[in-house]
Amino acid sequence: MGVRGIWKGFGGEEARSVRVPDAERAAARLPSLTDAEWLELFGSFERSDLVWFWATDSSGRLTYLSPRALEQFQAGRPVFGQPLADLVHTIRDSDGPAEVKPISFMLSARTAFVDVVVGLKDEGSDADGKKWWQLTGRPQFDARREFAGYRGIVHDITATYEEKRRKSRMAAFDALTGLSNRHRMSQRLAAALNASRLEKRSCALMMLDLDRFKQVNDTLGHPAGDELLKQVSQRLQRVAPTGSEIGRIGGDEFQLIVPDIDDRGKLGDCANRMIQMLSQPYSIEGRRAIIGTSVGIAIAPYDGVEPDELVKAADLALYAAKGGGRGRFRFYSNDLKETAEDRREIEEDLRDAIAAGQLTMHYQPQVGARDNVVRGFEALMRWEHLHHGPISPATFIPIAEQSSLIDELGSWALQQACLDAAEWPGDLPVSVNVSARQFLNKDLPEVVKLALRKSGLPPARLELEITESVFVGDIGSAQAMFAQLRKLGVKLALDDFGTGYSSLSYLRKAPFDKIKIDQSFVRGCAQDGDTGAAIIKAIANLASAMKMTTTAEGVEAMDELESVGGLDVDFVQGFIFSRAVPQADVLEKLRSGELRYEPVGPARHRAGRRTLYRRVGVVHEDHHYVAMLRDLSRTGARIEGLLDVPIGTELVLDLGEGQIVVGRVRRSQDATQGIEFEVPLVSDGAGGLCTRHRVSPYMLAAIGMPLRALGSGHHLAAAAAASGHPPSGRPRFMQVDVGGGASRAG
DSSP state of 469: G
pLDDT reading at 406 higher than 50: yes
| Contacts of residue 378, Cβ cutoff 8 Å, sequence gap at least 6 | 363, 364, 366, 430, 431, 432, 433, 465, 573, 580
Q: Residue 347: what pLDDT?
A: 84
pLDDT, residue 11, reads: 45
Q: What is the mean pLDDT of residues 506-513?
A: 76
At residue 89, the pLDDT reads 85
Residue 322 CB burial class (10 angstroms; 0-12, 13-18, ≥19): buried
What would the mean pLDDT of 417-427 be, rounded to a whole number? 95
- Give percent of the chain with pLDDT exceeding 70: 86
Answer whether residue 720 shows pLDDT above 80: no
Write down the pLDDT at residue 710. Answer: 85
Question: What pLDDT, on the 0 to 100 scale, is given for residue 40?
Answer: 78
**Which residues, in sequence order, are CB contacts of 204 under 8 Å at separation 6+?**
256, 257, 258, 259, 261, 262, 267, 297, 298, 299, 300
- The answer, yes or no, to whether residue 512 has pLDDT greater than 70, is yes
For residue 64, what are the contacts with CB-CB under 8 A and spacing of at least 6? 1, 2, 5, 6, 53, 54, 55, 80
Which of 207-221, 466-480, 570-584 bottoms out in mean pLDDT, i.e. has the lowest? 466-480
Read off the pTM: 0.63
pLDDT (tens digit, 9 = 90+) per residue, 261-279?
999 999 999 999 999 999 8
Whole-number Å distance between alpha carbons of 142 and 743: 92
Predicted local confidence at residue 210, as pLDDT: 93
Return the exposure string of 261-281: e unless at least 16 CB atoms fall within 10 Å of the residue's CB, then b: bbbbbebbebbeebbeebbee
Helices then strands (H, E): number in the chain? 26, 34
Is 648 a residue whose pLDDT tops 90? yes
pLDDT band at 746 (very low <50, low <70, confident <90, very high): very low
User: How would residue 25 be classed by pLDDT, with cut points 50, 70 and 90?
Assistant: very low
642 burial level (CB within 10 Å; 0-12, 13-18, 19+): buried
Confidence (pLDDT) at 201: 92
Lowest-pLDDT choice from 97-111, 186-200, 416-430:
97-111
Q: How far apart are CA 530 and CA 198, in angstroms?
A: 48
**Residue 406 neighbours by CB under 8 Å, 6+ apart:** 397, 400, 435, 437, 438
Q: Does residue 58 carry a pLDDT above 90?
A: yes
Residue 230 has a pLDDT of 95
DSSP codes, 493-524: EEEEETSSS--HHHHHHS--SEEEEPHHHHTT
Average pLDDT over residues 294-305: 95
| Average pLDDT over all residues of the chain | 85
pLDDT of 497 higher than 70? yes
With a pLDDT cut of 90, the percent of the chain lying above it is: 46
| Nearest CA among 602, 620, 611 for reference residue 639 | 611
pLDDT at 740 over 50: no
8 Å CB contact between 557 and 527:
no
pLDDT at position 602: 85
Which range (173-187, 201-215, 232-246, 725-739) has the least confidence?
725-739
Give me the mean pLDDT over the 604-632 stretch.
79
pLDDT at 627: 92
- Cβ-based neighbours of 328, under 8 Å, separated by 6 or more: 275, 294, 295, 321, 685, 686
Pair 104, 125: CB distance under 8 Å: no
Report the alpha-carbon distance of residue 438 to residue 442 in Å, rounded: 9
Give all strands (DSSP E) within 323-446, no chain letters. Answer: 329-331, 359-368, 374-385, 389-391, 430-434
Where do the domains of the chain lie, and which CATH numbers do they carry?
Answer: 3-165 (3.30.450.20), 173-333 (3.30.70.270), 340-592 (3.20.20.450), 610-745 (2.40.10.220)
Q: Which residues contact 523 (CB under 8 A, 6 or more apart)?
A: 532, 554, 560, 605, 607
Report the pLDDT value the prediction gives residue 265, as an integer from 0 to 100: 95
Distance between CA atoms of residues 305 and 345, nearest Å: 29
pLDDT of residue 20: 43
Q: pLDDT higher for 111 or 8?
A: 111
Residue 375 confidence class, pLDDT cut points 50, 70, 90: very high
pLDDT value of position 5: 56
In sequence order, the 6+-apart residues with CB closer than 8 A to the CB of 14 are none
Q: Per mean pLDDT, which range of 469-473, 546-550, 602-606 is the poorest?
A: 469-473
Residue ranges with strand state E in 157-252: 203-211, 245-250
Contact between 539 and 498 under an 8 Å Cβ cutoff? The reply is yes
Amino acid (1-letter code) at residue 290: I
Q: How far is CA 17 from CA 11, 111, 141, 357, 538, in A?
A: 10, 24, 18, 105, 98
The confidence score (pLDDT) of residue 18 equals 37
Average pLDDT, integer, range 375-387: 92
Query: Which amino acid type is present at position 192?
Result: A
The residue-averaged pLDDT of 287-312 equals: 93
pLDDT at 323: 75
Distance CA 700, CA 714 (A): 12
C-alpha dist (Å) from residue 712 to 335, 336, 677, 699, 709: 8, 11, 22, 17, 10
Give the pLDDT band of residue 51 (cuts 50, 70, 90).
confident
Q: Is 606 helix (H, G, I), strand (E, B) or coil?
A: coil
